[in-house]
Chains A and B, each alone.
Chain A
Amino acid sequence: LAKTTQPISMDSYEGQEVNITCSHNNIATNDYITWYQQFPSQGPRFIIQGYKTKVTNEVASLFIPADRKSSTLSLPRVSLSDTAVYYCLVGPGYGQNFVFGPGTRLSVLP
């Protein structure tokens, strides 16, 4: 499985755009990039998944450069309720183990 590296923590203010970058230098050809969000006392929740270029949904955008060695989760105009841990996972579409790293703890301040 491709190893991922994310910042341990980030701070932001309400209304700002937050970008969390994940490095995955040894990503394989058939690997997808998936992001999850976890609030305290809850299980992780799927946010977005992509393979290349850009993916956007109602919650976030995912930017993946051509070499796919990194990816950036973009949260537009964060609010206090976006305070959570964000995990980046990389693995194949099938036979994937879904191994979570330490994630990025995002704190949104008023």
Chain B
Amino acid sequence: DAGVIQSPRHEVTEMGQEVTLRCKPISGHNSLFWYRQTMMRGLELLIYFNNNVPIDDSGMPEDRFSAKMPNASFSTLKIQPSEPRDSAVYFCASSLIEGEKLFFGSGTQLSVL
């Protein structure tokens, strides 16, 4: 199994641009999570899905952030417009069923200039 796959690995963009991060969970996993990690705030849970349905998006910082999961094998996290304070590592994780251990991807290093 290839594990959780995230793309791109690195993203550099300018303030105001739209950014789309992508995630392919492990096949057969029913829960998907998006996290953001910074030195100041640590690992923050942004949103999680169960069976492609958003369950808790209370961690999404503001309306500039949106996440979708159109099917069981793909999810996106979009930031529009991006700001320098969005610079962070964004991780996607999946679990077989809700409550089971998480498997993390390698993350996307986002830099907003």
Contact = CB atoms under 8 A, between A and B. Distances in A.
B41 to A, nearest CB: 10
Q: Tell me if A's interface is mostly helix, strand, loop or mixed.
A: loop
Contacts of A101: 42
Interface residues of A, number: 24
A34 B102 CA distance: 10
Dominant secondary structure at the B interface? strand
A29 interface: no
A81 B45 CA distance: 27
Contact of B102 (A42, A46, A95, A102): A46
Contacts of A92: 99
A100 interface: yes
Nearest first, the 5 closest Cβ-Cβ pairs linking A and B are: A43-B104, A100-B43, A46-B101, A93-B99, A94-B99
Interface of A: 32, 34, 36, 41-46, 49, 87, 91-103
5 contacts: A44-B104, A45-B104, A94-B98, A98-B93, A103-B42
Given A92-B99, A98-B45, 6 more contacts: A32-B99, A36-B102, A46-B102, A94-B98, A100-B35, A100-B43
